[in-house]
Structure 1
Amino acid sequence: MAVQEHTGWERKNSMNKIAILDAATQSVQYQDDDGTEYGRGLAVKLLKQYMADNVFVITPGLLTGTPVPCATRATIVGKSKEEREICVSNISGDFPQKLASMHLSGIVIKGSCKDKNTIIHIEEQKISFLDFPELQGKSCKEMVSCIREKWGRECAIIGRGPASDHYYPISSLFVTYPYGKPEYSCPRSSTGAGLAKIGIRAIVLERNQYFRGACENREGLQSSGKRLAKYILDDPICGGALPGLGSITLLHLLKNEKNLEELLQEKRKEEKAEIEKSGERINYCCAPMCVIGCLNRHSKGNGNIYSSPEESEIKAAIEQCFAQDMEKEQLESCTTYLSQKGMESGLNMIELVFAMRLYFDAEKEKPSLEQILQLVREVEAATVLGRVLAGGTRRVCEVFSDETQIQGRATKKAVTKERDYQLKIDLELLYREIFLFENLGICIFSSFALLNKEEPLRLLSELYKDKTGREITVEEMLQYSAQCLKQEEELWKELNIGNNIKAIPEFVKVLYNYFENTKN
């Protein structure tokens, strides 16, 4: 295994560092970070600074790496030098907490490696570039096992699966959970193609400890954090772990208050369902300090458990697209197979499900379980048809442009439908509060308990002060969010991306319905 090592981000004061990694020269530089910009705002600022090249940026939220409930997130932004499109993703798992605990407020990877299976290995005071050819051709699950066998089961990993080797638009990253079951997720908002163009297979953090991020008043932070946790747990949606059902199902529940009330009366009942006795640790939370717990919560109705929101989402998408074509048992088999294949290959399987539905309609074919499985095999083999499907619904509509019945059915960003709702919250305020969460590293699933509520938002300003030692008001934090929104809108305009559509998380479609129907 070829090794290129770099040392030297000694923490001589309370200031964090930003690591700038050049994949072409396999060199590392560090710059001081004064903490005035953070989270998603910092990520996009760094992207703008280095986007003349291939660039991939990871920034933990300001409160990530501290014992603040649900402050478990990091922002990933990426862009290849030959394309205008920018990918913005928000991730959880064990990686964000451990990155922030290393006093790194950002990692920038730019350029391109000759070897396409390069590992970036990060440990205390040292970053190494490693050639790891053994990972070629392995599934995401096999990569996680291989890497954790070498560096221990507590190492945290962000990587890309075999689907990204074809630069598929619907390829995704994989992000590990703390050791247990499930082992990792493939966030649907992420893309593995960007990391593939740099030639990095995975980024590995070798660290056993959490919550070691710099903090000016740890005692105050813990006290305010306990009050924040109470707000989250007292909320029926968050306290019932209902975000674990996935956004599609949650949308249906919010549109039917009776069904939602019935489900809330049975909250957490599913936790008692039988889980496979494999001797493994069962993950109920995506990361330490998550108090919602979206993993292994909700029953499939057959004695088994949906391990993650992604699996619940795939089930809902399959039922929406193919319920009229298959029996219940076939739908369950399809869900199991597609969930497994999506996790193995690193694919946004939900988008692929909708792309396959459009393909069947364009070809005027009645779908069957075997036909669906064959289309997945086409994608895995990177055939001409497989590449069309892996381009998502937009690509299928382009290829079948003469088929008028499918035009207009390409997946659209949720934010494009903002005017379809009459909300009890100002839209711009909603977006600023969402950006506030992403800047701080707070999970958007806690929105039901915290968004548009005076006391929880004031608590966030207290937590900011405890973390940084600097006074700040809620209004000032929201002003920074507005600056971040403007920064992105200007960048989108400069690159002529998507008619300058805001890059708001897709979960906002659930919040549109919540703030339209809520009686709060």
Structure 2
Amino acid sequence: MSKICYINLTTNEISYENYNIENLIYHGRSLTSYLVNKCTSPSTDRFDGENVIVLTPGLFTGTTAPSTGRISIATKKGKGLGMQIINMTGALPQKIASLGFESLVISGKSINNNTIIYIDKNKIEIKSLDNCNKKFVSEIISEIKTTYGNDCAIIGTGPASNNMMPLSTMFSTYPEGYPQYYCTRNGFGDIFGSKNLKAIIVNHDKYFQNICFDEKNFSIESKKLAKLIINNPICGQALPGHGSITLIKLLKNKDNIPSSKAYVPKVKLPLEEFRPAKKINKTCAPLCVIGCLNRHCKNDEEAFSAPAESEVNAALSHCYNIEDILFSKKINTRAFELGIDSTEFVFSSHLYYKAINKVPSKDDIYVLLTEIENNTILGKIIGSKTQGIYNFFRENQELEKLVTKPVINEEKNFNIALDKLFKDFENVDDLELMYRQIFLLSNLGFCIFTAFALINNKEALNIISNMYYYKTGQKITAVEMINFADKCIESEIRNEKDNAVGVIQKNIPEFTKVLYRYFSL
């Protein structure tokens, strides 16, 4: 039986609760949001010790299901506010699921500002990682792996979180190789910093030991689903052939899907500056059948550390008309070392320079990262994200349009059209049906990129329902799975209403902006 682990950083207490899906029902993202709301109250503020960080692998994470190396991480936004939730990949989700942990619930505040949570097959410990306050992310990872071994998988924060900057986020390590790690969009490194939590470490050499009710048949259905994903032109051709550049192209024109011909980079980057001479990670997690990270690269060619590099490149083009892949990589690399959201940094710098009416040079943009590193007044302003910067210059109302908005605000611009795969959904709005399927995939731990192949695909949904049975022993139809996802959405909105004083809206991944376009008329 798997278990939920409660870790209190104030008291150093660690306790466990047995988890049975038949009794609790919630799993993956839905379990994450359930636990946040169970353990907090409407009066819980962002940096209160009572606030929690909840990490929950998808139900299929740690199994042989293709492209399911995902974990949901959530916390309370603040007093009178709802929940903040992100979805991360890397080596840790499958390892922690393989150890039988259904969820980690972290509360309290440690007195040591270099606290780590160490997990292996025998124990969980709250420990200290000495002298890491001002170290860059790569140095933190190096020290952890030197101490605990290369099999360690890590989710943690960089130096920006020590200063509780809203721009700070979490990093997650890839399997052994280059790139070594990435930093997620829209994370909450400031809450890690408020708890003095530097990293969560899972030291385990196994990936696929999550228990299945019927492992043999689960594997058979997994292979069927893998074929559907691979046969999809986006998942099987464009993404592995071109990497995350595919997504930028889809945002511009959904009919401009790149061919399967491998992407040939215009620039070969100097290895000594951007990466050591070692194996390139071509997937962000084991058993991914898409391989959008670097499958399109050869060892002597340009390698992306994350899809964020494509996003930074697009953001620099949009904000400054800068088309320079080397500069994009330079910005992303430095931002990642500080543990900040690199794409949001570009938008924040743009709003700042608009506010002071200056056309910046590349050096001007780059030096803002040094200001963040040194925690200067200017660094704090840039580190407050676009909303925080706008608050400093609120007298200029023109700047408000440059504030980063939740992606759900874009839904009104698209007319989504899905097939009514099941008669039960004939009266369900197409956009709502898409959201239900997004939540379904998130609950199970699927990479959101699989949405191109799995959403609006009756065969895929039926295979997934079979997999659910072979994983849990609980029979469920595709219709019931989609309806359960709808209940999860309703539950999140209901909890938002109970907690929030502002606008109530769905909490959906940033990537949905691509799906709006892909599934629109």
Normalising by the residue count of structure 2, what TM-score does the alignment of the two structures yield?
0.90
Select which of 290, 308, 317 maps to 2:288. 290
Answering whether residue 443 of structure 2 is matched by residue 442 of structure 1, we say no
Select which of 337, 340, 346 maps to 2:339. 346
Answering whether residue 48 of structure 2 is matched by residue 44 of structure 1, we say no
Q: Compare 251-260 and 94-103 and name the one that shifted more.
A: 251-260
Q: Which amino acid aligns with 1:496?
A: A
Cα distance between partner residues in 1 of 2:127 and 2:80: 27
Select which of 57, 61, 64 maps to 2:58. 61
Q: Which amino acid aligns with 2:129?
A: F
Query: Shift of the alpha carbon at 1:332?
Result: 3.5
Q: How many residues align?
A: 495
* CA offset digits 1:222-253 (Å, max 9, x no partner): 11111101111111111125289677862443
Answering whether residue 17 of structure 2 is matched by residue 31 of structure 1, we say yes
Cα distance between partner residues in 1 of 2:210 and 2:434: 29
Residue 72 of structure 1 aligns to a residue whose secondary structure is coil
Q: Which amino acid aligns with 1:375?
A: L
Query: Shift of the alpha carbon at 1:213?
Result: 0.6
Residue 453 of structure 2 aligns to a residue whose secondary structure is helix
Answering whether residue 394 of structure 2 is matched by residue 397 of structure 1, we say no
Answering whether residue 363 of structure 2 is matched by residue 370 of structure 1, we say yes
Native 8 Å contact 2:171 2:184 kept in 1: yes
1:268–1:468 Cα change, 3 Å:
farther
Instruction: Name the Cα RMSD after superposition.
Output: 2.4
Select which of 305, 309, 326 maps to 2:303. 305
* CA offset digits 1:38-76 (Å, max 9, x no partner): 001101111111125121100001001100101111100
Answering whether residue 468 of structure 2 is matched by residue 482 of structure 1, we say no
- How do 1:428-507 and structure 2 match up within 5 A? 428-496=432-500, 498-507=502-511
Query: Shift of the alpha carbon at 1:86?
Result: 3.0
Native 8 Å contact 1:275 1:305 kept in 2: no
Q: What residue in structure 1 maps to residue 7 of structure 2?
A: 21
Query: Shift of the alpha carbon at 1:80?
Result: 6.9
Q: What residue in structure 1 maps to residue 112 of structure 2?
A: 115
Instruction: List alignment gaps of at least 5 residues for structure 2.
Output: 42-49, 419-429
Cα distance between partner residues in 2 of 1:67 and 1:229: 10
Cα distance between partner residues in 2 of 1:67 and 1:50: 32
Q: Percent identity, aligned pairs only?
A: 37
1:398–1:247 Cα change, 3 Å:
farther
Native 8 Å contact 2:6 2:16 kept in 1: yes
Cα distance between partner residues in 2 of 1:338 and 1:137: 19
Select which of 157, 160, 163 maps to 1:160. 157
Native 8 Å contact 1:355 1:392 kept in 2: yes
Q: Which amino acid aligns with 1:503?
A: N
Native 8 Å contact 1:80 1:194 kept in 2: no
Q: Which amino acid aligns with 2:102?
A: S
Query: Shift of the alpha carbon at 1:278?
Result: 4.2
1:454–1:336 Cα change, 3 Å:
same
Q: Which amino acid aligns with 1:465?
A: Y
Instruction: List alignment gaps of at least 5 residues for structure 1.
Output: 1-14
Cα distance between partner residues in 2 of 1:498 and 1:82: 11
Query: Shift of the alpha carbon at 1:180?
Result: 0.7
Native 8 Å contact 2:269 2:326 kept in 1: no
Q: What residue in structure 1 maps to residue 181 of structure 2?
A: 184
Native 8 Å contact 1:241 1:268 kept in 2: no
- How do 1:56-135 and structure 2 match up within 5 A? 56-79=53-76, 84=81, 86-135=83-132
1:418–1:246 Cα change, 3 Å:
farther
Q: What residue in structure 2 maps to residue 8 of structure 1?
A: none
Native 8 Å contact 2:241 2:263 kept in 1: no
Native 8 Å contact 1:434 1:444 kept in 2: yes
Query: Shift of the alpha carbon at 1:138?
Result: 0.9
Q: Compare 137-146 and 80-89 and name the one that shifted more.
A: 80-89
Q: What residue in structure 1 maps to residue 424 of structure 2?
A: none
Residue 408 of structure 1 aligns to a residue whose secondary structure is helix
Native 8 Å contact 1:54 1:112 kept in 2: no
Q: Which amino acid aligns with 1:420?
A: N
Q: Which amino acid aligns with 1:373?
A: Y
Answering whether residue 220 of structure 2 is matched by residue 223 of structure 1, we say yes
Q: What residue in structure 2 maps to residue 12 of structure 1?
A: none
Cα distance between partner residues in 1 of 2:313 and 2:171: 20
Q: What residue in structure 2 maps to residue 4 of structure 1?
A: none
